[in-house]
Structure 1
């Protein structure tokens, strides 16, 4: 994919591989650009993620005498696979 400029700020968009495709992202967070084929691949990955989301549950923490309460995760679980892509 050729180098793209952000239509909002004019900055050169940063390209990176994403699964089987490539995404270009504005370094200032103004958006992303995907080809039609890459968007299709992301959509399929999202559907697969939801199809198998129930099987990826975290194991229960081991309870020990010194515990006051169960450990709390610092981040809430992702609602969708796409949320895991852009931290």
Structure 2
């Protein structure tokens, strides 16, 4: 009953303090820089690739290489890999 009397006398002060704290917390949460960020670079290479090889302009080889890289990129983007 004493708490109820205090609440009635000070209700706007209590509501204002709680509302101000919630508003301040919301503003700080929205303005703060995200703490956890990540980035990565993935290099895709064929097994047994020759590091000394000279560039080959053969269109068939370029098509096969492009297809290989697209396949590898697709596998890396797969949901199954992300779940593992």
TM-score, normalising length: structure 2? 0.29
TM-score, normalising length: structure 1? 0.28
> Where is the helix percentage greater, Structure 1 or Structure 2?
2
Q: Taking CA–CA contacts closer than 8 Å with sequence separation of 6 or more, which of the two structures ends up with the larger relative contact order?
A: 2
> Where is the strand percentage greater, Structure 1 or Structure 2?
1
